[in-house]
């Protein structure tokens, strides 16, 4: 966010106080005072709105840069099954960035995110609310991708710890990929930390993957914040 939470909280408080002042001034003060207060309120609202827009743009650019990284490991025109697709933004990114469609299915366990994506994209994206551990075996694509969902801290109701969840998800992705997997993780080398995310060690994941799968590669050159695990099927 461009403005700190503390600053934004004060801004919202000031906005509320100014609205109250305008109501009082409308009864007790001259019109010129009401006008001046109204102009101040407009400026406060504009400041908040600009912050929201900048925040949205910055987040989208960061998201799309991550998607560009994923696409860089997948040959052009090959199909994708997106584990943890959220709103299905990847599919819209691809259409916008490359001016062409892609054979794509997105799956996510979060019903609210799927509903939001269907609304935002007018039901024009194939996204489904599915527990991928129960995904039907006939649903396969050339590549399975996972953009950060393995970094989330999961509910204990899944009866899996964070590493078990990540390992199980990668194994499931492998089963549903014809050609391979591309997964992006938050790195423990990152200078920023989010309490809601797990920053993982690239070496640990690479060593584990090499014992479970065929040809495995890891790229940590893109950013100190993330690394990419690529698993190829024979």
C-alpha dist (Å) from residue 98 to 76, 92, 93:
10, 10, 8
- The whole-chain average pLDDT of the chain stands at 85
Task: Give 65-102 pLDDT, tens digit per residue.
Answer: 899 999 999 999 999 999 999 889 999 999 999 988 89
Pick from 51-60, 119-128, 171-180: least confident: 51-60
User: For residue 144, how many other CB atoms are within 10 A of its CB?
Assistant: 29
Please give the structure tokens belonging to residue 93.
């990114």
Largest CA distance in the chain: 80
pLDDT for residue 5 is more than 70 = no
pLDDT for residue 156 is more than 90 = no
Which pLDDT band holds residue 139 (cuts at 50, 70, 90)?
Answer: very high
pLDDT at residue 1, as a whole number: 45
Q: Rounded to whole angstroms, how far apart are CA atoms 164 and 181?
A: 18
Question: Any idea what DSSP says for residue 122?
Answer: T
Pick from 19-23, 85-89, 182-186: least confident: 19-23
Which pLDDT band holds residue 53 (cuts at 50, 70, 90)?
Answer: very low
């Amino acid at each position: 966010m461009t403005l700190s939470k503390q600053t934004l909280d004060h801004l919202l408080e000031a906005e509320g106080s100014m609205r109250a002042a305008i109501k009082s001034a409308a009864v007790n003060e001259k019109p010129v005072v009401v006008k001046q207060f109204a102009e101040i309120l407009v400026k406060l609202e504009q400041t908040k709105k600009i912050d929201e827009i900048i925040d949205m743009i910055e987040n989208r650019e960061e998201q799309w840069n991550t998607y560009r990284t994923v696409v860089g490991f997948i040959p052009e025109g090959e199909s994708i099954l997106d584990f943890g697709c959220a709103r299905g933004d990847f599919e819209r990114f691809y259409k916008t960035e490359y001016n062409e469609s892609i054979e794509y299915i997105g799956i996510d366990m979060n019903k609210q995110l799927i509903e939001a994506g269907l609304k935002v994209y007018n039901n024009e994206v194939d996204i489904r609310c599915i527990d991928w551990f129960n995904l039907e075996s006939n649903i396969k694509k050339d590549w399975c991708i996972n953009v950060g969902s393995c970094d989330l801290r999961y509910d204990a109701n899944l009866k899996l710890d964070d590493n078990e969840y990540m390992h199980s998800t990668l194994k499931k992705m492998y089963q549903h990929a014809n050609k391979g997997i591309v997964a992006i993780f938050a790195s423990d080398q990152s200078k920023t930390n989010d309490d809601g995310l797990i920053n993982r060690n690239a070496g640990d994941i690479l060593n584990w993957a090499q014992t479970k799968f065929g040809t495995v590669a890891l790229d940590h050159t893109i950013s100190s914040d993330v690394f990419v695990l690529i698993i190829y099927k024979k």
